[in-house]
Every structure is written in C-alpha cells, then in structure tokens.
C-alpha cells in the first residue's frame, strides 16, 4: 500500500487545498522499501482519493507519504501519530523514516507553511480519515436511451455525487452525450468500441479511476442492463 497527502496551491484559483490518495499493491513491496521509487514509479492501483482543487497547474507546498504492506486503520494511525510527534518535537520541515517494513516521509516548504508541526498533523488527519472511509465498489450508473436516430447517454445523479466526492467539489456533471446511429457505426468500424472513448468524457475519470471507484453499469430507463460495446 502507498498513501500520500499533499497541500497544493492553485495559481488559477489563488487558494490551497489538500489532496490525498490511497493505493494498493497486488504483491508485497520489496524490502527495504524505497519510498521514492514507490511514489514515482510504482504507487499501485488507486483505491480512494480526496481532492479539493481541480487538477493542473498546482504547486505542491507540503506532502506526507507512507508505504508499507497492507496496514489496518489502527496501525496506520499509530504510525502517523508517532511520525507527527517527531516532527512536532524536533520542529522539522523535512523528515524521513525507514525501518524496512514501513517507510514514511514529510516535507513542508518553510517559506510557505507557517507551522510544520501543524502541517504534518493536518496532512495525517486527512490521510487517516480517507483510509478509514469504507471502500464503496458499487459501479457507477449510466442511463441509455435508444432513440429513433441515435443513442443518448446520461450519468445517474447519485453516481455524479460519488464522482464529485472522489475527485473534488469542482467536478461538474456533463449534460449527457448524444451519438447518432450512423456515427456510432462508422466510429466503431474505424476505432473499435466507442464507449471506451465516451465514458471518460461522460465521467471525467480515466480508466484507472473508473476501476478504483467500482466500474460502470449501463442500463435502460427501465433498469435493463445493456452492452453497447458490440453494437453494429
């Protein structure tokens, strides 16, 4: 597992926010854990996220990372509490700990963060809450209306609320997508299944994020599940 929280500053919105992510690995991490390598090249599969600002053009002002084999919420809390205590006691803006089984690190830009101790506590609190949050794997719901000349896809409102919680409050649901039958057939003949291109547009999520949130079910307004990948 790899968990990370960082404070970012949005140049566009002129405000900051905390982003946090939980990743899982299918295999135990190589020991001793190289946290820098895990963070940059092998974070694992995204399982949960907390995002407060839109992505793009953000400046990272602090971060707190932990990498280990799977931990209980109680064990992670203890690790974070001990870590924050060291930062507070020694007034550190940079701190790393490697004990073979657990690797953790903290950084705060002292020119931009008034209190590194408070910052470590703030980041660890967000991580703790995110890690303790139940993992909902229920698929997102997309409604399909097969109309006379084409097909309309729209995201279920409850699914839209889940995406907003997953990626942040600035996510806006699109009004829906309409594709004429002829366009659908021509596109599929050239590029293959069209939904792999439409679903990211409809949800704002990439393939890994869709998998992390539970995937997608496509149903008619009467609740019948349909498959549109093979429409000819």
Establish if 168 belongs to a structural domain: yes
**pLDDT the model gives residue 48:** 83
Q: Are 95 and 16 contained in the same domain?
A: yes
Token digits for 74?
């109680």
What one-character-per-residue DSSP string does 14-61 give? TEEEEEEEEEE-SSPPPSS--HHHHHHH---EEEEEE--S-SSSEEEE
Q: Is 226 within a domain?
A: no
Looking only at the bridges linking them, the beta strands covering 140-146 and 216-220 are parallel
Q: CB–CB of 214/139 below 8 Å? A: yes
Q: Verify that 72 and 102 share a domain, yes or no.
A: yes
58 and 81 fall within a common domain: yes
In a domain, 52, yes or no: yes
Rounded-to-5 percentages of helix, strand, coil across the chain: 35, 30, 35
Kindly state whether residues 69 and 180 are assigned to the same domain.
no
Q: Domain boundary at 132, 161, 191, which?
A: 132
Whether residue 153 contacts residue 202, with contact meaning beta carbons closer than 8 Å, is answered with yes
Residues 17 and 94 in one domain: yes
Q: Are 19 and 52 in contact (CB under 8 A)?
A: yes
Tokens of 159: 């699914």
Q: Are residues 121 and 177 located together in one domain of the fold?
A: no
**Torsion over CA: 185, 190, 192, 198 (sign):** negative
Tell me, what's the pLDDT at 35? 95
Decide which of 132, 154, 177 is a domain's last residue.
Answer: 132
pLDDT at res. 208: 65
Q: Both 23 and 89 in a single domain?
A: yes
- Predicted local confidence at residue 229, as pLDDT: 44
Q: Do 82 and 110 sit in the same domain of this protein?
A: yes
Please indicate, yes or no, whether residues 70 and 50 belong to a single structural domain of this protein: yes
Strand pairing class (45-50; 216-220) = unpaired
Is residue 230 domain-resident? no
Residue 230 has a pLDDT of: 37
How confident is the model at residue 135, as a pLDDT?
65
Single residue among 84, 102, 132 that ends a domain in this structure = 132
Let me know if residue 231 belongs to a domain: no
Q: Number of folded domains in the chain?
A: 2
Which residue segment(s) compose the domain that 108 sits in?
A: 2-132
The SS3 of residue 209 is helix
Are residues 24 and 87 located together in one domain of the fold? yes
**Regions of the chain with pLDDT less than 50:** 229-232
Residues 128, 48 within the same domain: yes
């Amino acid at each position: 597992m790899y968990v990370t929280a960082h404070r970012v500053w949005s140049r566009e919105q002129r405000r900051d926010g905390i982003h946090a992510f939980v990743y899982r690995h299918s295999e135990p991490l190589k020991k001793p854990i190289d946290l820098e390598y895990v963070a940059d090249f092998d974070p694992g599969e995204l399982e949960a996220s907390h995002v407060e600002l839109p992505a793009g053009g953000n400046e990272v002002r602090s971060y707190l990372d932990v990498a280990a084999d799977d931990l209980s919420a109680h064990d992670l809390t203890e690790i974070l509490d001990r870590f924050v205590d060291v930062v507070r006691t020694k007034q550190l803006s940079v701190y790393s700990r490697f004990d073979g089984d657990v690797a953790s690190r903290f950084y705060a830009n002292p020119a931009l963060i008034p209190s590194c101790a408070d910052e470590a506590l703030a980041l660890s609190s967000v991580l703790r809450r995110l890690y303790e949050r139940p993992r909902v794997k229920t698929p997102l719901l997309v409604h399909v209306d097969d109309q006379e000349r084409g097909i309309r896809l729209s995201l279920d409102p409850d699914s839209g609320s889940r995406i907003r919680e997953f990626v942040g409050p600035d996510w806006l649901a699109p009004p829906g997508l309409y594709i004429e039958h002829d366009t659908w057939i021509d596109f599929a003949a050239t590029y293959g299944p069209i939904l792999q291109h439409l679903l990211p547009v409809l949800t704002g999520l990439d393939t890994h994020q869709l998998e992390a949130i539970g995937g997608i079910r496509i149903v008619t307004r009467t609740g019948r599940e349909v498959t549109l990948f093979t429409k000819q």
